[in-house]
Amino acid sequence: MSLNVPQRREMLLTAERELRRLAGLLSENQNRIVNATTALRAILANEQTSPELAEAVRQGLLVASSGMSINRRQRQDLIETRAMIAAADAQLDEIDDAQGDVPEP
């Protein structure tokens, strides 16, 4: 079964809403990582921090760095996906124009 233009457009809008939601979650996650990194660095800077705790903090900083890298890649994937959605929406506009339909606002 083939979907008509309004159905396809609705699917694109749904995908765009979901991507916005995911972008918000990525932003929240990034803020948490930044806050955790700040706290870990403060612990590491304290002269009274034991060598064992300092090593655990260093490991935590490595995990935070990895998390930030993953977050950046996911954010880039979202940007690329949004670009594909915009291109698909433009194609739907062309289909609408070719069919003589009135474009939706």
DSSP structure class, residue 49: -
Q: Look at residue 104 in the predicted model and tell me its pLDDT.
A: 55
Residues 6+ apart with CB under 8 A from 103: 93, 96, 97
More confident residue, 105 or 94: 94
Residues 6+ apart with CB under 8 A from 24: none
pLDDT in tens, 17-59: 999 999 999 999 999 999 999 999 999 999 999 999 999 999 9
Residues 6+ apart with CB under 8 A from 60: 36, 40
Q: Look at residue 33 in the predicted model and tell me its pLDDT.
A: 96
Residue 21: how many CB atoms within 10 A of its CB? 10
Residue 5 pLDDT class (50, 70, 90 cuts): confident
Residue 70 pLDDT class (50, 70, 90 cuts): very high
